[in-house]
Amino acid sequence: MRVLGIDCGTERTGYGIIESDGRSHQMIAAGAICTVPRAPLEYRLLTIAEGLRAVIHLHAPDSAAVEEVFYSLNVKTALKLSHARGVALLLIAEAGLPLGEYSPLEIKTSVVGYGRAEKRQVRMMVHSLLHITAEIESEDACDAMAVAICHANRRSSEMRMSKTRSAG
């Protein structure tokens, strides 16, 4: 299965595409869609939409996953993040992709085995799980890869459980 992971942000939206059989993951592409921070929000959202649309068209994922909205002390920041997330959800729906949404705790637990893992631990495990030695170009892209790995792991577990139930 080919999975698109998205790490939403209004300045940088990370994306990662993996190919996975549920046990082994291979990196296909990773990057970040960067916007001009001083540009009006609507133009930054347009840039994100155009970038995600191009990624989906180029890599043809089977499913997509994003991080759930987390609570922020800064309401203004949380609202801007929600706008970027809304754009991602719209593009996923437009492409007809099944969607997975995961909390930061679920993502870290899936990738590192510990829900309170630090960014550097997540980065190290993403590289290890993807069997890559070169650095992923940005922290946002690496976080998106973690989202994609979490989704692939979750889908694989769900399929195994479904097979077990139907066999029993």
CATH of the domain at 103: 3.30.420.10
* Interatomic CA distance for residues 5 and 77, integer angstroms: 21
**Number of residues that make up the chain:** 168
* Interatomic CA distance for residues 48 and 81, integer angstroms: 12
Q: Which two tokens stand for residue 104?
A: 């930061």
Active site residue 67: yes
- What integer is the mean pLDDT of 89-108? 97
- Point out the catalytic residue in the list 11, 68, 140, 143: 140
Neighbours of 151 (CB within 10 A): 28
- Point out the catalytic residue in the list 11, 19, 21, 67: 67
Range of the domain at 79: 2-167
- Calculate the alpha carbon distances from 12 to 141, 143, 158, 165 in Å: 9, 12, 31, 42
What pLDDT sits at residue 118? Answer: 94
Q: What is the largest CA-CA distance in the chain?
A: 58
* Interatomic CA distance for residues 39 and 55, integer angstroms: 22
Q: Does the model's pTM come out above 0.95?
A: no
Could you tell me the pLDDT band of residue 78, with boundaries at 50, 70 and 90?
A: confident
- What integer is the mean pLDDT of 105-110? 95
* Interatomic CA distance for residues 127 and 64, integer angstroms: 20
Could you tell me the pLDDT band of residue 87, with boundaries at 50, 70 and 90?
A: very high
- The enclosing H or E element of 76 equals helix 75-94
Whether 127 contacts 143, CB under 8 Å: no
pLDDT tens digit sequence for 29-53: 999 999 999 999 999 999 999 999 9
Number of domains in the chain: 1
